[in-house]
Every structure is written in C-alpha cells, then in structure tokens.
Structure 1
Amino acid sequence: MREVVICSPLRTPVGRMGGALAPVSALELATTVLRALVERSGVDPARVDGVIGAQGYPTMEAPAIGRVAALDAGFPVTTTGYQLDRRCGSGLQAVLNAAMEVQTGVSDVVVALGVESMSNAPLYTVDGRRGIPNGGLLLRDALARGRETVGGRDYPTPEGNVGTAETLRAEYGITREAQDALALRSHQRAVAAQESVAFDTELVPVEVPGRRGSTIVDRDEHPRADTSLDALAGLRPVLLRSDAAATVTAGNSSGQNDAAAACIVTTPESAAVLGLVPMLRLRSWAVAGVDPRRFGIAPVPAANLALERAGIRFADLDVVELNEAFAVQVLACLADWGVDAEDPRLNPRGSGISIGHPIGATGIRMLATLAHELPALDGSLALETMCIGGGQALAAVFERV
C-alpha cells in the first residue's frame, strides 16, 4: 500500500462548556478551521478529493458535516464528504479513514476534520413523530443520554462514564490523591505550553459574534493556572451519594468542550506536487474492544497492538499522547504498561483534563499537538491513543518526517 503522511494539522482553541465559543455552531467552527487549513497549507481545494468529518453530537443543521463544511468553506462541489462517529476516537478515526483511502489509491488528498460544540449539543425527542403522547414530549439531553446507552442493552452504563471510571478505581486501587496529582500536572503542563506560546503554531483564531461586536478567541479556555492540590481535593466526587468510596470529580476528569481541528492526509509524492510540507508519517494503527463497563482500560490492548504492528516497543517512543478522559483511567493504563505517572513523555503539554475533550475534535487536536511536540523535543516516534465510550480504543503510531 502507498505511504501516508500528515500535513498542516491545525485546531481552534478549545472552549469551555458555555464559554467563549458557545455562540459559534459546530458548522461554523468546522468552516473556520477548513478555511485556515487552505490558507496556511496553500492547497488548492479543487485537489482535495473529500472531507471526512467526525462529530459525536450532530444535528440536522449540518447533516454529513464533512460535506456541508467543505461547501461552506468554499471547496468546489466536486469535493465529497461524510460524517462518522466513534465517540471519543472520532477525530483520529477520520484521519485513519482518510489514510485508508489514500493507501489503497481510492483518493490522493483527503482532509480529516473533527468538530464538536458540546455547548450546543441537542436536546431531542423520539416520541413526537406519530403524535404527542400522554404527559407531553420527553426531551433528552444528548450528552447524558449518549453515555447511558453506549453499551447497548447487554452492557448497561446507567451511571455513565463516571461509573465506569469508578470501576477501574476499585479494580486497580487508585487513590483520590494520585488522581488529583495527575490532574494538577496536566494543568501545569498545559499552562506552561500556553505561556511559552508552544500552542500558537497549531492554533486557528475564531471570530465570535456578539451584541457589542465580534471578539477573537485565540487561546484555550480550559487550562487553569490557579488550580492546586488543595482546590482539587475540595471538589465533591460525582457519585458520592451512591458510592461512599467514590473519587472521580469534575477536577480529575476531562472537560466538556467546543473546538474543531483538521489536517491533510496524502502521499509524499502528492505532497511534493502540491507544495505541502509533511509533518508526520503514519506507521501503524489498531482498534480494540473491551467490556463497556471498564472502557477506560481499552487503550492498553489497542496501543500494544499498534506498537507490535510498527515493530517498536514502548521504550522507543518519544511522546505518548494518551487522552485524559479521567485521571483514574490514565493511571490504570499506565499501571498495565508499567509506565510512571510522571513520565515526561506522557502528554507533555497537557491533555483532556487541562486542554479539554471536545470529543469529535479531540483526536485531531491531539495529532496537531504531537506534530508540534516532536520537533520541539527532538523526538521521532509518537503514540496517540484514547479510550472510547462503549468499550473501545484507538491507537496510532506516528513518525516525525
């Protein structure tokens, strides 16, 4: 199969739930990052075969968001597009789907797009199409409902992802103190990256309309420079009422966020013809499944298989981007790998707890960050992996070009 390279990975700032990016729809975020991708890379949109859009909480305001965002961003009508959902792994899956198209010769140049506006996730009903039932219509919150139903009928997760995180806490004996310490390190690393302008080359500013005129958002909102172990220790565990031993809090969990990210996936030969500068080469990837009730451990088999396929060991990696869905699930994965929680290779610029977790965009956000981390750290090999609600995980090995 043909070799695959990644060019121009970019992302918007990550906004807090209900924060600065809340007035901007997912489609507008996607359109913004696609326009910036064209401008910064210099790629001719007419040479792009398709846009694969990842989104976890879509609405019918932009169906098949890859296609709609491409059209709104000025791509020609010949540019195809679609939408996929592998929950937290959706953004990385868009990159991998694009890679498979390129590797097999189906396409030459594909844009992988990830986007989420969790601030605007829909409230919906499935009860009203054939008349209003007695008692009126029930509106469900897509964010909460998706976490309850993701295991299907036979693997219920009534307490959502938090409940599954507490399962790992009990299984691995992970303390609240260890979780809060990891969360603090995540914020410290993300804030340090902000202060050193390390994120600037991967960021695309977003114009946000307002009653008093537009404002420009050009900085991640979620990292907290003022957090501390005392502040984190003061937060109440989410499931304390039902589990006296509960430890998972809002402070040691990922955020609910808004962002978009995109990159160009192509061959080295096409990149040269189009004047694109490859940053990463895809070495291998893998997907794994586990019991949905302990989904946070799934990066272990996924990463192990991806490393085996790449012919490398964990010790060969220079950067490990493991999304922080919860501090407890990161610590469980590290325990299985035998990796120290303070390993400097692990999320050198923070992750889901500090930067945030806009689920459809996260995979490409992580890719943009690691693409810029590798040269800054004089590294060569990176692993990107994340657990996925419902009992899955993705992992991919990338090499610096």
Structure 2
Amino acid sequence: MREVVICSPLRTPVGRLGGSLAPLSARDLGVAVLEALVARSGLDVNAVDSVIAAQGYPSMESPAFGRVAALDAGFPSTTTGYQLDRRCGSGLQAVMNAAMEVQTGVADVIVALGAESMSNAPLYTEQGRRGTPPAGLMLHDALARGRETVGGVNYPSPDGNVGSAELLRSEYGISREAQDRFALQSHQRAVAAQESGAFDAELVPVTVPGRKGDVLVDRDEHPRADSTLEALARLRPILGKKDAASTVTAGNSSGQNDAAAACIVTTPARAASLGLTPSVRLVSWAVAGNDPRLFGVAPVPATSLALSRAGIGLDDLDVIELNEAFAVQVLACLADWGIDAEDPRLNPRGSGISIGHPIGATGIRMLATLANELPALDARLALETMCIGGGQALAAVFERV
C-alpha cells in the first residue's frame, strides 16, 4: 500500500464548557480550522477528494458534517464528505479512515477534521412523534446520556464513565493523592507550554462575535496556572454520596470542552506536487476492545498491537501521547506498561485533564501537539493512544518526517 504522510495539523484553542467558544457551533469551529488549514498550508481545495469529520454530539444542523463543513469553508461542490463517531477516538479515527483511503488508492488527498461543541450538545427526545405522554416529553442531555448507554444493554453504566474510572481505582489500588498529583503535573506541563509559546505553531485563533464586539480567542482556557495539590484535594468526589471510597473528581478528570482540529492526509509524492510540507508519516495503527466496565485500560492492548505491527517496543518511543480521560485511567495504563507517571516522554505538554477533551477534536488535537513536539525534542517516534467509552481504544505510531 502507498505511504501516508500528515501535513499541517492545526487546532483551535480549547474552550471550557460554557466558555469563550460557547457561542460557536461545532460547524463554526470546524469551518474556522478548515479555512486556516487552507490559508496556512497553501492547499489547493480543488485537489481535496473528501473531508472526513469526527463529531461525538452531532445534530441535524450539519448532517454529513464533513460535507457541510467543506462547503461552508469554500471547498468546491466536488469535495465529498461524511462524519463518524468512535467516541473519544473519533478524531484519530478520521485520520485513520483518511489514511486507508489514501493507502488503497481510493483517494489522493483527504482532510481529516474533528470538531466538538460540548457547550452546545443537544437536548433531545424520541417521544415527540408519538404524541405527548401525560407526564410530558422527556428531554435527554446528550452528554450524560451517551455515557450511560455506550455499553449497550449488556454492559450498563448508570454511573457513566466516572463509575468505570472508580472501578479501575479499586482494581488497581490507585490513591486519590496519586490521581491529584498526576492532574497537577498535567496542568503544570500545559501551562509551561502555553507560557513558552510551544502551542503557537499548532493554534488557530478564532473570532467570536458578541454584543460588545468581536473577541479573538487565541489561548486554551482549560489549563489552570493556579492549580495546587491542596486545591485539588478539597474537591469532592463525583460519586462521593454513593461510595465513600470514591476518588474521582472534576479536578483529576478531563474537561468537557469546545474545539476543532484538522490535518491533510496524502502521499509524499502528492504532498510534494501540491507544495505541502509533511510533518509526520503514519507507521502503524490498531484498535482494540475490552470490557466496557474497564474501558480505561483498553489503550494497553491497542498499543501492543500498534507497536507489534511497527516492529518496535515502548522503549523505542520518544513521545507517548496518552489522552487523559481520568488520572486514574492513565495511572492504570502506566502500571500495566511499567512506566513512571513522571516519565518526560508522557504528555510533555499536558493532555485531557489540563488542555481539555473536546471529544470529536481530541484525536487530531493530540496529533497536532505531537507533530510539534517531535522536532522541538529532536525526537523521531511518537505514540498516540486513547481509551474510548464503551470499551475500545485506538493507538497509532507516527514518525517525524
């Protein structure tokens, strides 16, 4: 199969739930990053075969999201597009789907897009078309409902992902202090990256209209420079009323966020002909499934498969980007891998706990970050992996070009 390279991975800033980016829809964010991708890379939009878009909380305001975003961003009507959902792995899956199409010759140039506005996740009902029940229509919050139903009827999760995280805490014997310490490290690394300008190359400023005029958002909102162990220790466990032993808090969990990210997926020859500069090449990738109640450690088998296909081991990696859904989940994976929580290769610039976790955008956000980390660290090989609610995980190995 043909070799695949990734060009110009970019992302918007990551906004907090209800924060500065909340007035914008996922489509608005997606269009903004697509327009910036074209402007910065010099990509000829007439050469793009398709836009594959990832979104975890869609609505019918943008059906076949990749197609709609492409049209709104000024791509020609010949550009096809669709959307996919593999929950937390959606963004990376968009890149992998694009890679498979390019590898097999189905397409030559594809843009992978991930976008999420968790601030605008829909409230919905399935009852309205059958008449109004006596008690009225039940509106489900898509954010909460998706976490409760993701395991289907055979693997119910009434306490959502937090309940799964607490099960890992019990299974692995991971303390609250260890979780809070890791969360603090994540914030410290992300804030240090912000202050040094390390994120600048991957960031696309976004203009947000408001009643008092436009506001330019050019900085991640989620990292907390004022975070301390003492402040984290004061937060109440989310399931504390149900289980006195619970330890998972808002402070040692990933955020609910708004953002978009995109990249160009093509072959080295096509990149050269279009004047594009590859950042990384795809070496291998894998997907794995496990018991949905222990989904947080699914990156372990996924990573094993991806590394095996690449013919390398964990010790060969220069950067390990493991999305931080929960501190306890990261620590459980590290325990299985035998890697120390302070390993400098692990999330050098923070991850989900500090930067945030806009579900559909996270996978490409991580790719944009690692693509800039590799040259900054004079490094060669990077792993990107994440757990996925419902008992899945993705892992991919990239090499600096």
| Per-residue CA distance 1:230-263 (angstroms, 9 max, x = gap) | 0000000000111110000000000000000000
Letter in 1 for 2:4: V
2:183 maps to which residue? 183
Counterpart of 1:53?
A: 53
Cα drift, residue 311 of structure 1: 0.4
CA offset at residue 154 of structure 1? Answer: 0.3
Structure 2 residue matching 1:129: 3-state secondary structure: helix
Aligned to 1:63: 63
Aligned to 2:145: 145
- Superposed CA deviations along residues 286-306 of structure 1, whole A, max 9, x for unmatched, are 000000011001000000110
1:390 is matched by which residue type in structure 2? G
User: In the alignment, what sits opposite 1:114?
Assistant: 114
Q: Helix, strand or coil for the counterpart of 1:225?
A: coil
Offset, 1:59? 0.7
Structure 2 distance, partners of 1:70, 1:229, is 44
**How much has 1:130 moved relative to structure 2?**
1.9
| Root-mean-square deviation over aligned CA pairs | 0.3
3-state secondary structure, aligned to 1:360? coil
Residue 336 (str. 1) matches residue 333 (str. 2): no
Distance apart, 1:339 and its partner CA: 0.3
SS at match of 2:130: coil
Listed as ranges, the matches of 1:131-170 within 5 Å are 131-170=131-170
Residue 35 (structure 1) aligns with? 35
Report the residue type matching 1:387 in the other structure. C
Report the 3-state secondary structure (helix = DSSP H, G, I; strand = E; otherwise coil) of the residue aligned with 1:97.
Answer: helix
> What displacement does 1:41 show?
0.5
Q: How many residues align?
A: 401
Pairwise mapping of residues 275-354 of structure 1 onto structure 2 (< 5 A)? 275-354=275-354
* Deviation, structure 1 residue 155: 0.4
**Inter-partner Cα distance in structure 1 for 2:169 and 2:311:** 32
1:399 offset after TM fit, Å? 0.2
Summarize the alignment of residues 231-270 of structure 1 with structure 2, pairs less than 5 Å apart: 231-270=231-270
Partner-residue secondary structure (3-state), 1:279: strand
SS in 2 for 1:336: helix
Q: What are the equivalent positions in structure 2 for 1:88-103 lying under 5 Å apart?
A: 88-103=88-103
- Name the structure 2 match of 1:379: 379
Say if 2:203 is the partner of 1:203.
yes
Alpha-carbon displacement from aligned partner over 1:84-134 (angstroms, at most 9, x marks no partner): 000000000000000000000000000000000000000000001121111
- Cα distance in structure 1, aligned partners of 2:60 and 2:358: 19
C-alpha distance in 1 between matches for 2:343 and 2:262: 28
2:271 partner letter: A
- SS of 1:156 mapped into structure 2: coil
**Can you list the C-alpha shifts for 1:329-380, whole angstroms capped at 9, x where unaligned?**
0000000000000000000000000000000000000000000000000000
Percent of pairs identical after alignment? 80
Q: Look up the equivalent residue of 1:254 and give its one-letter code.
A: S
What is the alpha-carbon distance in structure 1 between the residues aligned to residue 318 and residue 248 of structure 2? 30
| Partner in structure 1 of residue 397 of structure 2 | 397
Q: Aligned partners of 1:283 and 1:311: how far apart in 2?
A: 10
Please give the TM-score of this superposition, normalised by the length of structure 1: 1.00
Determine the C-alpha separation between the residues in 1 that align with 2:172 and 2:208.
44
- State how far apart, in whole Å, the 1-side matches of 2:371 and 2:136 are: 51
Q: Give the structure 2 partner of residue 370 of structure 1.
A: 370
Tell me, which stretches of 5 or more residues in structure 1 are unaligned? none
- Give the equivalent residue in structure 1 for 2:78: 78
Tell me how far 1:78 sits from its aligned partner.
0.2
Aligned AA for 2:258?
A: D
CA distance in structure 2 between the aligned counterparts of 1:313 and 1:155, rounded to whole angstroms: 33
* Runs of 5+ unmatched residues, structure 2: none
* Amino acid of the structure 2 residue aligned with 1:311: G
User: 2:52 & 2:240 partners in 1: Cα distance?
Assistant: 41
TM-fit CA distance, 1:316: 0.4
User: Deviation per CA, 1:185-233, whole angstroms, max 9, x where unpaired?
Assistant: 0000000000000000000000001001100000000000001000000
CA distance in 2, matches of 1:48, 1:239: 47
TM-score (norm 2): 1.00
**Aligned to 2:10, what secondary structure does the other structure show?**
strand
Moved over 4 A (4+): none
2:20 is aligned to 20
The alignment partner of 1:371 has SS state of helix
CA distance in 2, matches of 1:346, 1:301: 18
Tell me the CA shift for residue 400 of structure 1. Answer: 0.2
Could you list the per-position Cα deviations for residues 61-100 of structure 1 after superposition, in whole angstroms to 9, with x for gaps in the alignment? 0011100000000000000000000000000000000000
Structure 1 Cα separation of the partners of residues 160 and 292 of structure 2? 10
* Aligned equivalents of 2:26, 2:363: Cα separation in 1: 16
Distance 2:209 2:125 in 1: 30
Q: Distance in 2 between matches of 1:241 and 1:293?
A: 20
